[in-house]
A and B are shown apart, each in its own frame.
Chain A
Amino acid sequence: MNFTALFNAMPGAAAQGLIWGIMAIGVYITYKVLDLADLTVDGSMATGGAVCVMLMLNGVNVWLALLCAVLAGMLAGLLTGIFHTAMGIPPILAGILTQLSLYSINLAVMAFKANQGINVTKYALIVSQRNVRTLSWNNPIFTALLFLIVLIGALYWFFGTELGSSLRATGANEAMSRAQGINTNTAKILGLMISNGIVALSSALLSHYQGFVDVNMGRGAIVIGLAAVIISEVIFGKLFRNFALKLTGVALGAVIYYIVIQVVLWLGLNTNLLKLLSALIVAVFLGIPYWKAHMNMRKGGGRHA
Protein backbone atom coordinates (compact mmCIF):
# COMPACT_ATOMS: atom_id res chain seq x y z
CA MET A 1 0.00 0.00 0.00
CA ASN A 2 1.27 3.40 -0.97
CA PHE A 3 0.58 5.68 1.92
CA THR A 4 2.42 8.59 0.34
CA ALA A 5 -0.17 8.77 -2.43
CA LEU A 6 -2.97 8.92 0.13
CA PHE A 7 -1.12 11.51 2.17
CA ASN A 8 -0.54 13.63 -0.91
CA ALA A 9 -4.23 13.51 -1.77
CA MET A 10 -5.26 14.93 1.60
CA PRO A 11 -4.78 18.67 0.95
CA GLY A 12 -6.91 18.35 -2.19
CA ALA A 13 -9.58 16.47 -0.26
CA ALA A 14 -9.58 19.14 2.45
CA ALA A 15 -9.88 22.01 -0.04
CA GLN A 16 -12.65 20.32 -2.00
CA GLY A 17 -14.39 19.35 1.21
CA LEU A 18 -14.34 22.94 2.46
CA ILE A 19 -15.69 24.30 -0.82
CA TRP A 20 -18.42 21.64 -0.89
CA GLY A 21 -18.94 22.42 2.78
CA ILE A 22 -20.23 25.84 1.73
CA MET A 23 -22.76 24.04 -0.45
CA ALA A 24 -23.64 21.67 2.38
CA ILE A 25 -24.48 24.68 4.56
CA GLY A 26 -26.90 25.77 1.85
CA VAL A 27 -28.49 22.32 1.95
CA TYR A 28 -28.63 22.47 5.76
CA ILE A 29 -30.72 25.65 5.58
CA THR A 30 -33.44 24.07 3.46
CA TYR A 31 -33.26 20.51 4.77
CA LYS A 32 -32.85 21.19 8.48
CA VAL A 33 -33.92 24.76 9.18
CA LEU A 34 -36.87 24.98 6.77
CA ASP A 35 -37.62 21.24 6.75
CA LEU A 36 -37.80 21.19 2.93
CA ALA A 37 -35.86 18.77 0.73
CA ASP A 38 -34.76 21.07 -2.09
CA LEU A 39 -33.36 19.43 -5.21
CA THR A 40 -32.74 22.76 -6.97
CA VAL A 41 -29.22 22.35 -5.63
CA ASP A 42 -28.17 19.88 -8.35
CA GLY A 43 -28.82 22.64 -10.88
CA SER A 44 -27.64 25.69 -8.96
CA MET A 45 -24.39 23.88 -8.15
CA ALA A 46 -23.53 24.39 -11.83
CA THR A 47 -25.27 27.75 -12.29
CA GLY A 48 -22.95 29.64 -9.94
CA GLY A 49 -19.85 28.41 -11.71
CA ALA A 50 -21.31 28.99 -15.15
CA VAL A 51 -22.26 32.59 -14.41
CA CYS A 52 -19.00 33.39 -12.66
CA VAL A 53 -16.71 31.81 -15.26
CA MET A 54 -18.56 33.21 -18.27
CA LEU A 55 -18.61 36.73 -16.85
CA MET A 56 -14.91 36.54 -16.07
CA LEU A 57 -14.12 35.23 -19.55
CA ASN A 58 -15.93 38.32 -20.80
CA GLY A 59 -13.76 40.62 -18.73
CA VAL A 60 -15.93 41.22 -15.67
CA ASN A 61 -14.18 41.76 -12.33
CA VAL A 62 -13.89 38.59 -10.28
CA TRP A 63 -15.80 39.88 -7.25
CA LEU A 64 -18.60 41.28 -9.36
CA ALA A 65 -18.78 37.96 -11.21
CA LEU A 66 -18.98 36.15 -7.87
CA LEU A 67 -21.80 38.43 -6.73
CA CYS A 68 -23.71 37.77 -9.96
CA ALA A 69 -23.23 34.03 -9.44
CA VAL A 70 -24.82 34.29 -6.00
CA LEU A 71 -27.70 36.35 -7.38
CA ALA A 72 -28.26 33.77 -10.12
CA GLY A 73 -28.46 31.05 -7.47
CA MET A 74 -30.96 33.13 -5.54
CA LEU A 75 -33.11 33.47 -8.65
CA ALA A 76 -33.10 29.70 -9.00
CA GLY A 77 -34.31 29.44 -5.38
CA LEU A 78 -36.96 32.04 -6.12
CA LEU A 79 -38.24 29.95 -9.03
CA THR A 80 -38.51 26.83 -6.86
CA GLY A 81 -40.21 28.91 -4.18
CA ILE A 82 -42.79 30.20 -6.65
CA PHE A 83 -43.42 26.69 -8.00
CA HIS A 84 -44.00 25.50 -4.44
CA THR A 85 -45.94 28.34 -2.81
CA ALA A 86 -47.84 29.99 -5.66
CA MET A 87 -48.57 26.83 -7.64
CA GLY A 88 -48.90 24.32 -4.82
CA ILE A 89 -46.30 21.95 -6.25
CA PRO A 90 -44.71 19.72 -3.56
CA PRO A 91 -41.23 21.01 -2.67
CA ILE A 92 -39.31 18.00 -4.00
CA LEU A 93 -41.05 18.20 -7.37
CA ALA A 94 -40.69 22.00 -7.46
CA GLY A 95 -36.95 21.56 -6.99
CA ILE A 96 -36.72 18.92 -9.69
CA LEU A 97 -38.54 21.20 -12.14
CA THR A 98 -36.14 24.05 -11.46
CA GLN A 99 -33.17 21.70 -11.61
CA LEU A 100 -34.25 20.51 -15.06
CA SER A 101 -34.82 24.03 -16.36
CA LEU A 102 -31.44 25.03 -14.97
CA TYR A 103 -29.77 22.39 -17.14
CA SER A 104 -30.87 24.30 -20.24
CA ILE A 105 -30.20 27.66 -18.63
CA ASN A 106 -26.69 26.62 -17.58
CA LEU A 107 -25.93 25.41 -21.09
CA ALA A 108 -27.21 28.69 -22.50
CA VAL A 109 -25.06 30.66 -20.06
CA MET A 110 -22.04 28.57 -21.09
CA ALA A 111 -22.64 29.46 -24.76
CA PHE A 112 -24.08 25.98 -25.36
CA LYS A 113 -20.90 24.14 -24.50
CA ALA A 114 -20.87 21.39 -21.89
CA ASN A 115 -17.81 22.88 -20.24
CA GLN A 116 -15.75 26.04 -20.22
CA GLY A 117 -12.22 26.33 -18.96
CA ILE A 118 -10.69 29.30 -17.17
CA ASN A 119 -6.94 29.58 -16.84
CA VAL A 120 -5.46 30.57 -13.50
CA THR A 121 -2.49 32.29 -15.13
CA LYS A 122 -4.70 34.59 -17.19
CA TYR A 123 -7.49 35.28 -14.74
CA ALA A 124 -7.53 36.37 -11.11
CA LEU A 125 -9.16 33.25 -9.69
CA ILE A 126 -10.06 33.28 -6.01
CA VAL A 127 -8.97 29.70 -5.39
CA SER A 128 -6.98 27.27 -7.51
CA GLN A 129 -6.05 23.64 -7.25
CA ARG A 130 -2.57 24.62 -8.35
CA ASN A 131 -1.80 26.18 -4.97
CA VAL A 132 -3.25 23.43 -2.81
CA ARG A 133 0.15 22.22 -1.55
CA THR A 134 1.80 25.60 -1.20
CA LEU A 135 2.26 27.31 2.12
CA SER A 136 0.95 30.73 1.21
CA TRP A 137 -2.07 32.99 1.47
CA ASN A 138 -3.04 31.69 -1.96
CA ASN A 139 -3.67 28.20 -0.66
CA PRO A 140 -7.30 27.35 -1.46
CA ILE A 141 -7.71 25.67 1.94
CA PHE A 142 -7.00 28.96 3.64
CA THR A 143 -9.25 30.97 1.30
CA ALA A 144 -12.12 28.49 1.59
CA LEU A 145 -11.82 28.59 5.39
CA LEU A 146 -12.03 32.37 5.26
CA PHE A 147 -15.18 32.18 3.16
CA LEU A 148 -16.69 29.67 5.57
CA ILE A 149 -15.97 31.79 8.62
CA VAL A 150 -17.55 34.88 7.08
CA LEU A 151 -20.54 32.85 5.82
CA ILE A 152 -21.17 31.12 9.15
CA GLY A 153 -20.87 34.45 10.96
CA ALA A 154 -23.37 36.09 8.60
CA LEU A 155 -25.85 33.22 8.90
CA TYR A 156 -25.50 33.14 12.68
CA TRP A 157 -26.35 36.82 12.78
CA PHE A 158 -29.22 36.51 10.29
CA PHE A 159 -30.97 33.60 11.95
CA GLY A 160 -30.89 35.53 15.23
CA THR A 161 -32.82 38.45 13.75
CA GLU A 162 -36.60 38.81 13.72
CA LEU A 163 -36.70 37.84 10.06
CA GLY A 164 -34.34 34.90 10.52
CA SER A 165 -36.33 33.69 13.52
CA SER A 166 -39.47 33.71 11.40
CA LEU A 167 -37.72 31.36 8.94
CA ARG A 168 -36.73 29.01 11.75
CA ALA A 169 -40.28 29.11 13.13
CA THR A 170 -41.70 28.26 9.69
CA GLY A 171 -39.48 25.19 9.54
CA ALA A 172 -40.35 24.19 13.10
CA ASN A 173 -44.14 24.61 13.03
CA GLU A 174 -46.03 26.13 10.13
CA ALA A 175 -49.44 26.28 11.79
CA MET A 176 -47.98 28.07 14.78
CA SER A 177 -46.04 30.45 12.55
CA ARG A 178 -49.14 31.52 10.68
CA ALA A 179 -51.02 31.92 13.95
CA GLN A 180 -48.23 34.28 15.01
CA GLY A 181 -48.63 36.32 11.84
CA ILE A 182 -45.70 34.95 9.86
CA ASN A 183 -46.23 34.70 6.10
CA THR A 184 -44.88 31.16 5.78
CA ASN A 185 -44.83 31.31 1.98
CA THR A 186 -42.56 34.34 2.00
CA ALA A 187 -40.38 32.69 4.63
CA LYS A 188 -39.98 29.55 2.51
CA ILE A 189 -39.16 31.53 -0.64
CA LEU A 190 -36.59 33.60 1.23
CA GLY A 191 -35.03 30.45 2.71
CA LEU A 192 -34.81 28.80 -0.70
CA MET A 193 -33.20 31.93 -2.14
CA ILE A 194 -30.60 32.16 0.61
CA SER A 195 -29.83 28.46 0.35
CA ASN A 196 -29.36 28.46 -3.41
CA GLY A 197 -27.37 31.69 -3.27
CA ILE A 198 -24.93 29.92 -0.95
CA VAL A 199 -24.86 26.87 -3.22
CA ALA A 200 -24.07 29.09 -6.20
CA LEU A 201 -21.24 30.69 -4.23
CA SER A 202 -19.81 27.25 -3.59
CA SER A 203 -20.27 26.40 -7.27
CA ALA A 204 -18.37 29.50 -8.39
CA LEU A 205 -15.51 28.73 -6.00
CA LEU A 206 -15.42 25.11 -7.15
CA SER A 207 -15.16 26.15 -10.80
CA HIS A 208 -12.26 28.41 -9.87
CA TYR A 209 -10.64 25.61 -7.91
CA GLN A 210 -10.81 23.07 -10.72
CA GLY A 211 -10.21 25.65 -13.47
CA PHE A 212 -13.36 24.89 -15.44
CA VAL A 213 -17.12 24.75 -15.17
CA ASP A 214 -19.03 21.70 -16.31
CA VAL A 215 -22.76 21.51 -16.92
CA ASN A 216 -22.86 18.25 -14.96
CA MET A 217 -20.85 19.39 -11.95
CA GLY A 218 -23.95 19.66 -9.78
CA ARG A 219 -25.20 16.15 -10.40
CA GLY A 220 -25.65 14.46 -7.04
CA ALA A 221 -24.84 17.63 -5.10
CA ILE A 222 -27.90 17.18 -2.90
CA VAL A 223 -26.63 13.74 -1.88
CA ILE A 224 -23.21 15.14 -0.96
CA GLY A 225 -24.93 17.91 0.99
CA LEU A 226 -27.13 15.43 2.84
CA ALA A 227 -24.10 13.23 3.51
CA ALA A 228 -22.30 16.19 5.07
CA VAL A 229 -25.34 17.07 7.21
CA ILE A 230 -25.74 13.46 8.36
CA ILE A 231 -22.03 12.93 9.05
CA SER A 232 -22.01 16.09 11.15
CA GLU A 233 -25.07 14.93 13.09
CA VAL A 234 -23.59 11.52 13.79
CA ILE A 235 -20.18 12.81 14.83
CA PHE A 236 -20.87 16.26 16.30
CA GLY A 237 -24.59 16.00 17.11
CA LYS A 238 -24.14 15.75 20.88
CA LEU A 239 -21.22 18.16 20.94
CA PHE A 240 -22.39 21.08 18.80
CA ARG A 241 -25.62 22.62 20.11
CA ASN A 242 -25.04 26.23 19.09
CA PHE A 243 -26.24 27.20 15.60
CA ALA A 244 -22.84 28.49 14.45
CA LEU A 245 -21.20 25.30 15.69
CA LYS A 246 -23.79 23.21 13.88
CA LEU A 247 -22.98 24.99 10.61
CA THR A 248 -19.28 24.43 11.30
CA GLY A 249 -20.07 20.77 11.87
CA VAL A 250 -21.78 20.56 8.48
CA ALA A 251 -18.72 22.04 6.74
CA LEU A 252 -16.50 19.59 8.61
CA GLY A 253 -18.91 16.85 7.55
CA ALA A 254 -18.20 17.69 3.91
CA VAL A 255 -14.44 17.58 4.56
CA ILE A 256 -14.79 14.17 6.21
CA TYR A 257 -16.88 13.01 3.26
CA TYR A 258 -14.13 13.97 0.82
CA ILE A 259 -11.44 12.37 2.94
CA VAL A 260 -13.43 9.14 3.07
CA ILE A 261 -13.88 9.31 -0.71
CA GLN A 262 -10.12 9.72 -1.15
CA VAL A 263 -9.49 6.71 1.05
CA VAL A 264 -12.01 4.61 -0.85
CA LEU A 265 -10.46 5.61 -4.18
CA TRP A 266 -7.03 4.88 -2.78
CA LEU A 267 -8.27 1.41 -1.83
CA GLY A 268 -8.98 0.90 -5.51
CA LEU A 269 -12.67 1.59 -6.05
CA ASN A 270 -13.64 2.41 -9.61
CA THR A 271 -14.32 6.18 -9.79
CA ASN A 272 -17.48 5.54 -11.77
CA LEU A 273 -19.03 3.69 -8.82
CA LEU A 274 -18.57 6.60 -6.41
CA LYS A 275 -22.06 8.04 -6.80
CA LEU A 276 -23.60 4.64 -6.14
CA LEU A 277 -21.55 4.30 -2.97
CA SER A 278 -22.48 7.83 -1.80
CA ALA A 279 -26.16 7.26 -2.44
CA LEU A 280 -26.20 3.97 -0.55
CA ILE A 281 -24.33 5.41 2.44
CA VAL A 282 -26.75 8.35 2.65
CA ALA A 283 -29.72 6.00 2.30
CA VAL A 284 -28.50 3.89 5.20
CA PHE A 285 -27.96 6.90 7.44
CA LEU A 286 -31.34 8.38 6.54
CA GLY A 287 -32.86 5.02 7.46
CA ILE A 288 -31.30 4.84 10.92
CA PRO A 289 -33.85 7.07 12.73
CA TYR A 290 -36.69 5.06 11.17
CA TRP A 291 -35.17 1.75 12.22
CA LYS A 292 -34.57 3.06 15.71
CA ALA A 293 -38.23 4.07 16.05
CA HIS A 294 -39.29 0.70 14.68
CA MET A 295 -37.12 -1.16 17.20
CA ASN A 296 -38.50 0.92 20.06
CA MET A 297 -42.03 0.09 19.04
CA ARG A 298 -41.26 -3.62 19.04
CA LYS A 299 -39.87 -3.33 22.51
CA GLY A 300 -43.12 -1.68 23.52
CA GLY A 301 -41.57 1.68 24.26
CA GLY A 302 -41.64 4.83 22.23
CA ARG A 303 -45.37 4.89 21.72
CA HIS A 304 -46.70 7.92 23.45
CA ALA A 305 -50.12 9.38 22.88
Chain B
Amino acid sequence: MLDMTDVRKTFNAKTVNEKVALDGLTLHLNDGDFVTVIGGNGAGKSTMLNAIAGVWPIDRGSIVIDKKDISRLPEHRRAPLLGRVFQDPMTGTAATMQIEENLALAARRGERRTLKPGITRAERNQYRDQLAALGLGLEDRMTAKVGLLSGGQRQALTLLMATLKKPKLLLLDEHTAALDPRTAEKVLELSEKIVRENNLMTLMVTHNMRDAIRYGNRLIMMNEGKIILDIAGEQKQKLTVEDLMTAFFKASGEEFANDRALLS
Protein backbone atom coordinates (compact mmCIF):
# COMPACT_ATOMS: atom_id res chain seq x y z
CA MET B 1 0.00 0.00 0.00
CA LEU B 2 1.22 3.46 -0.88
CA ASP B 3 -0.10 6.64 0.71
CA MET B 4 1.09 10.03 -0.45
CA THR B 5 -0.57 12.80 1.50
CA ASP B 6 -0.41 16.50 0.63
CA VAL B 7 3.08 16.22 -0.85
CA ARG B 8 4.58 19.51 -1.93
CA LYS B 9 7.84 20.24 -3.70
CA THR B 10 9.06 23.57 -5.03
CA PHE B 11 12.20 23.85 -7.10
CA ASN B 12 14.33 27.01 -7.03
CA ALA B 13 12.16 28.51 -4.29
CA LYS B 14 12.28 32.29 -3.99
CA THR B 15 13.99 32.80 -7.34
CA VAL B 16 12.64 33.86 -10.73
CA ASN B 17 12.80 30.20 -11.74
CA GLU B 18 10.54 29.09 -8.89
CA LYS B 19 8.46 26.09 -9.93
CA VAL B 20 5.90 24.30 -7.86
CA ALA B 21 6.47 20.76 -9.13
CA LEU B 22 4.18 18.94 -6.71
CA ASP B 23 1.27 20.96 -5.37
CA GLY B 24 -0.28 19.13 -2.43
CA LEU B 25 -0.34 15.80 -4.21
CA THR B 26 -2.39 13.05 -2.58
CA LEU B 27 -2.46 9.52 -3.94
CA HIS B 28 -3.46 6.16 -2.53
CA LEU B 29 -2.45 2.87 -4.15
CA ASN B 30 -3.64 -0.61 -3.14
CA ASP B 31 -1.43 -3.67 -3.27
CA GLY B 32 -1.34 -5.05 -6.77
CA ASP B 33 -2.43 -1.78 -8.38
CA PHE B 34 -0.73 -1.19 -11.74
CA VAL B 35 -1.19 2.52 -12.33
CA THR B 36 -0.21 4.34 -15.51
CA VAL B 37 0.61 8.04 -15.19
CA ILE B 38 0.21 10.54 -18.01
CA GLY B 39 0.37 14.31 -18.32
CA GLY B 40 2.09 17.08 -20.25
CA ASN B 41 5.68 18.15 -19.89
CA GLY B 42 6.36 19.54 -16.44
CA ALA B 43 3.14 18.10 -15.01
CA GLY B 44 5.09 16.50 -12.15
CA LYS B 45 5.04 12.83 -13.22
CA SER B 46 8.75 12.15 -12.83
CA THR B 47 8.87 14.50 -9.84
CA MET B 48 6.28 12.33 -8.10
CA LEU B 49 8.39 9.22 -8.68
CA ASN B 50 11.56 10.97 -7.53
CA ALA B 51 9.75 12.18 -4.40
CA ILE B 52 8.85 8.59 -3.57
CA ALA B 53 12.40 7.40 -4.30
CA GLY B 54 13.90 10.15 -2.16
CA VAL B 55 16.16 11.74 -4.75
CA TRP B 56 15.72 14.99 -2.77
CA PRO B 57 13.68 15.84 0.33
CA ILE B 58 10.08 16.99 -0.06
CA ASP B 59 8.94 20.32 1.40
CA ARG B 60 5.77 19.07 3.03
CA GLY B 61 3.48 16.07 3.34
CA SER B 62 4.11 12.39 3.92
CA ILE B 63 4.87 9.28 1.92
CA VAL B 64 3.98 5.97 3.54
CA ILE B 65 4.54 2.48 2.14
CA ASP B 66 2.95 -0.39 4.08
CA LYS B 67 2.60 1.72 7.23
CA LYS B 68 6.28 2.69 7.07
CA ASP B 69 6.77 6.44 6.82
CA ILE B 70 9.63 6.97 4.36
CA SER B 71 9.20 10.73 3.91
CA ARG B 72 12.43 11.61 5.70
CA LEU B 73 14.58 8.59 4.83
CA PRO B 74 17.63 9.03 2.56
CA GLU B 75 17.43 7.51 -0.91
CA HIS B 76 19.50 4.40 -0.18
CA ARG B 77 17.34 3.50 2.83
CA ARG B 78 14.16 3.59 0.76
CA ALA B 79 15.73 1.38 -1.88
CA PRO B 80 14.75 -1.93 -0.18
CA LEU B 81 11.08 -1.06 -0.75
CA LEU B 82 11.45 0.19 -4.30
CA GLY B 83 12.33 -1.13 -7.73
CA ARG B 84 13.22 1.59 -10.21
CA VAL B 85 13.68 1.80 -13.96
CA PHE B 86 14.68 5.14 -15.44
CA GLN B 87 14.08 6.93 -18.71
CA ASP B 88 17.75 6.95 -19.66
CA PRO B 89 19.01 3.37 -20.15
CA MET B 90 22.41 4.56 -18.85
CA THR B 91 21.01 5.42 -15.42
CA GLY B 92 19.82 2.03 -14.23
CA THR B 93 22.97 -0.02 -14.71
CA ALA B 94 26.71 0.28 -14.12
CA ALA B 95 28.21 0.33 -17.61
CA THR B 96 31.75 -0.63 -16.58
CA MET B 97 30.60 -3.66 -14.61
CA GLN B 98 29.59 -7.10 -15.86
CA ILE B 99 25.99 -8.17 -16.37
CA GLU B 100 26.23 -10.67 -13.52
CA GLU B 101 27.90 -8.12 -11.24
CA ASN B 102 25.05 -5.69 -11.84
CA LEU B 103 22.55 -8.40 -10.95
CA ALA B 104 24.52 -9.34 -7.84
CA LEU B 105 24.45 -5.72 -6.69
CA ALA B 106 20.68 -5.64 -7.15
CA ALA B 107 20.21 -8.96 -5.37
CA ARG B 108 21.71 -7.38 -2.24
CA ARG B 109 19.45 -4.36 -2.21
CA GLY B 110 18.47 -3.61 1.38
CA GLU B 111 21.04 -5.95 2.86
CA ARG B 112 24.20 -5.07 4.69
CA ARG B 113 27.11 -5.40 2.30
CA THR B 114 29.77 -7.48 4.02
CA LEU B 115 33.10 -9.07 3.18
CA LYS B 116 31.38 -12.13 1.76
CA PRO B 117 31.94 -12.79 -1.96
CA GLY B 118 30.18 -10.27 -4.18
CA ILE B 119 28.70 -13.10 -6.27
CA THR B 120 28.42 -16.85 -5.71
CA ARG B 121 28.17 -19.78 -8.08
CA ALA B 122 24.61 -20.54 -7.00
CA GLU B 123 23.66 -16.97 -7.85
CA ARG B 124 25.24 -17.24 -11.29
CA ASN B 125 23.09 -20.24 -12.13
CA GLN B 126 19.99 -18.47 -10.89
CA TYR B 127 20.81 -15.36 -12.95
CA ARG B 128 21.41 -17.47 -16.03
CA ASP B 129 17.87 -18.84 -15.81
CA GLN B 130 16.38 -15.43 -15.13
CA LEU B 131 18.27 -13.83 -18.02
CA ALA B 132 17.19 -16.66 -20.31
CA ALA B 133 13.57 -15.86 -19.43
CA LEU B 134 14.05 -12.38 -20.91
CA GLY B 135 14.65 -14.02 -24.29
CA LEU B 136 17.45 -11.64 -25.30
CA GLY B 137 20.35 -14.08 -25.26
CA LEU B 138 21.98 -12.28 -22.32
CA GLU B 139 22.43 -15.58 -20.48
CA ASP B 140 25.39 -16.34 -22.75
CA ARG B 141 27.06 -12.98 -22.10
CA MET B 142 26.95 -12.80 -18.32
CA THR B 143 30.52 -11.57 -17.93
CA ALA B 144 30.17 -8.94 -20.66
CA LYS B 145 30.29 -5.31 -19.57
CA VAL B 146 26.83 -3.75 -19.52
CA GLY B 147 28.16 -0.80 -21.53
CA LEU B 148 28.22 -3.12 -24.56
CA LEU B 149 24.46 -3.73 -24.45
CA SER B 150 21.84 -1.90 -26.49
CA GLY B 151 19.37 0.48 -24.84
CA GLY B 152 16.59 -2.11 -24.93
CA GLN B 153 18.81 -4.78 -23.44
CA ARG B 154 19.89 -2.44 -20.69
CA GLN B 155 16.30 -1.55 -19.84
CA ALA B 156 15.35 -5.22 -19.74
CA LEU B 157 18.30 -5.87 -17.45
CA THR B 158 17.33 -2.91 -15.24
CA LEU B 159 13.81 -4.32 -15.01
CA LEU B 160 15.20 -7.64 -13.88
CA MET B 161 17.45 -5.86 -11.37
CA ALA B 162 14.52 -3.83 -10.05
CA THR B 163 12.47 -6.95 -9.39
CA LEU B 164 15.19 -9.46 -8.48
CA LYS B 165 14.37 -8.65 -4.88
CA LYS B 166 10.64 -8.22 -4.91
CA PRO B 167 9.95 -4.54 -4.20
CA LYS B 168 6.85 -3.19 -2.46
CA LEU B 169 6.49 -0.67 -5.26
CA LEU B 170 7.88 -0.62 -8.78
CA LEU B 171 8.60 2.80 -10.30
CA LEU B 172 8.83 2.90 -14.10
CA ASP B 173 9.78 6.40 -15.19
CA GLU B 174 9.12 6.59 -18.96
CA HIS B 175 11.39 3.61 -19.21
CA THR B 176 10.67 3.02 -22.89
CA ALA B 177 10.81 6.65 -24.06
CA ALA B 178 14.42 6.40 -25.24
CA LEU B 179 13.86 3.18 -27.21
CA ASP B 180 12.78 2.61 -30.79
CA PRO B 181 9.07 1.65 -31.13
CA ARG B 182 9.62 -2.09 -31.59
CA THR B 183 12.03 -2.37 -28.69
CA ALA B 184 9.77 -0.19 -26.56
CA GLU B 185 6.89 -2.55 -27.27
CA LYS B 186 8.98 -5.55 -26.22
CA VAL B 187 10.18 -3.92 -23.01
CA LEU B 188 6.62 -2.88 -22.16
CA GLU B 189 5.32 -6.41 -22.64
CA LEU B 190 8.15 -7.70 -20.50
CA SER B 191 7.31 -5.13 -17.83
CA GLU B 192 3.72 -6.22 -17.77
CA LYS B 193 4.67 -9.87 -17.57
CA ILE B 194 6.96 -9.24 -14.61
CA VAL B 195 4.41 -7.03 -12.85
CA ARG B 196 1.67 -9.61 -13.29
CA GLU B 197 3.76 -12.63 -12.30
CA ASN B 198 4.87 -10.93 -9.08
CA ASN B 199 1.61 -9.04 -8.51
CA LEU B 200 3.64 -5.84 -8.04
CA MET B 201 2.22 -2.49 -7.02
CA THR B 202 3.44 -0.32 -9.91
CA LEU B 203 3.55 3.31 -11.01
CA MET B 204 4.36 3.63 -14.71
CA VAL B 205 4.89 7.07 -16.23
CA THR B 206 4.41 7.18 -19.97
CA HIS B 207 4.05 9.76 -22.72
CA ASN B 208 2.10 7.36 -24.84
CA MET B 209 -1.66 7.56 -24.23
CA ARG B 210 -2.36 4.28 -25.95
CA ASP B 211 0.11 2.47 -23.69
CA ALA B 212 -1.39 4.21 -20.68
CA ILE B 213 -4.77 2.84 -21.65
CA ARG B 214 -3.59 -0.62 -22.66
CA TYR B 215 -1.56 -1.42 -19.55
CA GLY B 216 -2.54 -1.47 -15.91
CA ASN B 217 -5.80 -1.41 -13.99
CA ARG B 218 -5.84 2.29 -13.23
CA LEU B 219 -4.83 5.51 -14.94
CA ILE B 220 -4.05 8.90 -13.47
CA MET B 221 -3.48 12.15 -15.32
CA MET B 222 -1.39 14.92 -13.83
CA ASN B 223 -1.24 18.63 -14.47
CA GLU B 224 0.70 21.33 -12.61
CA GLY B 225 1.71 19.03 -9.79
CA LYS B 226 -1.75 17.63 -9.10
CA ILE B 227 -3.79 14.62 -10.13
CA ILE B 228 -6.59 15.86 -12.37
CA LEU B 229 -8.02 12.53 -13.50
CA ASP B 230 -8.17 9.12 -11.85
CA ILE B 231 -9.88 6.27 -13.69
CA ALA B 232 -9.89 2.62 -12.68
CA GLY B 233 -11.46 -0.73 -13.44
CA GLU B 234 -14.05 -1.15 -16.16
CA GLN B 235 -14.22 2.53 -16.85
CA LYS B 236 -10.53 2.47 -17.76
CA GLN B 237 -10.93 -0.45 -20.12
CA LYS B 238 -13.39 1.54 -22.19
CA LEU B 239 -11.14 4.59 -22.42
CA THR B 240 -9.99 5.95 -25.77
CA VAL B 241 -7.27 8.43 -26.63
CA GLU B 242 -9.98 10.94 -27.57
CA ASP B 243 -11.59 10.56 -24.14
CA LEU B 244 -8.25 11.39 -22.55
CA MET B 245 -7.74 14.43 -24.74
CA THR B 246 -11.18 15.74 -23.87
CA ALA B 247 -10.67 15.01 -20.19
CA PHE B 248 -7.36 16.81 -20.23
CA PHE B 249 -8.92 19.84 -21.91
CA LYS B 250 -11.80 19.93 -19.44
CA ALA B 251 -9.64 19.58 -16.37
CA SER B 252 -6.85 21.91 -17.32
CA GLY B 253 -8.42 24.28 -19.82
CA GLU B 254 -5.53 23.65 -22.19
CA GLU B 255 -4.95 21.49 -25.21
CA PHE B 256 -2.88 18.41 -24.54
CA ALA B 257 0.02 19.94 -26.38
CA ASN B 258 2.60 17.27 -26.62
CA ASP B 259 3.94 16.01 -29.90
CA ARG B 260 5.11 12.70 -28.56
CA ALA B 261 1.71 11.94 -27.06
CA LEU B 262 -0.19 12.93 -30.19
CA LEU B 263 1.97 11.22 -32.74
CA SER B 264 2.25 7.88 -31.03
Contacts and interface: CB of A to CB of B under 8 A. Distances in A.
A176 B146 CA distance: 13
Interface in B67-104: 74-77, 79-80, 82, 84, 86, 90-97, 101, 104
B94 A169 contact: yes
A160 B100 CA distance: 12
Interface string B171-214: 00000000000000000000000000000000000000000000
Contacts of A163: 113-115
Given A161-B118, A182-B76, A166 B91 contact: no
Interface residues of B, number: 34
A50 to B, nearest CB: 31
B116 A181 contact: no
Interface in B98-146: 101, 104-106, 108-111, 113-119
B115 A172 contact: no
Contacts of B105: 165-166, 169, 177, 180, 182
Given A172-B95, A176-B91, A176-B92, A160 B79 contact: no
Interface in B135-160: none
A173 interface: yes
A178 B79 contact: yes
Interface string A137-169: 000000000000000000000101111111011
Nearest to A171: B96
A176 B76 contact: no
A162 B161 contact: no
Contacts of A165: 101, 104-105, 113, 118-119
Nearest to A162: B113
Interface string A227-251: 0000000000000000000000000
A161 B76 contact: no
B93 A162 contact: no
A267 interface: no
B94 A173 contact: yes
B222 interface: no
Interface residues of A, number: 22
A162 B117 contact: yes
B79 A180 contact: yes
A264 B77 CA distance: 54
A172 B105 CA distance: 12
Q: Which residue, of A160, A176, A179, has the highest number of chain B Cβ atoms within 10 A?
A: A179
B115 A161 contact: yes
A84 to B, nearest CB: 16
Nearest to A168: B97
B102 to A, nearest CB: 8
B116 to A, nearest CB: 6
B53 interface: yes
Contacts of A178: 75-76, 79
A183 interface: yes
Interface of B: 53, 74-77, 79-80, 82, 84, 86, 90-97, 101, 104-106, 108-111, 113-119, 161
Give 4 nearest A-B pairs by CB, closest first.
A181-B79, A172-B94, A165-B118, A162-B113
Interface of A: 158, 160-166, 168-169, 172-173, 175-184
Given A163-B114, A168-B94, A183-B74, 16 more contacts: A161-B113, A162-B114, A162-B117, A163-B115, A164-B118, A165-B101, A165-B104, A166-B105, A168-B101, A172-B94, A173-B93, A173-B95, A175-B86, A180-B105, A181-B80, A181-B111
24 contacts: A161-B116, A161-B118, A162-B115, A165-B104, A165-B113, A166-B105, A168-B101, A169-B94, A169-B97, A172-B94, A176-B93, A176-B94, A178-B75, A178-B79, A179-B75, A179-B79, A179-B84, A180-B79, A180-B109, A181-B76, A181-B77, A181-B79, A182-B76, A183-B74
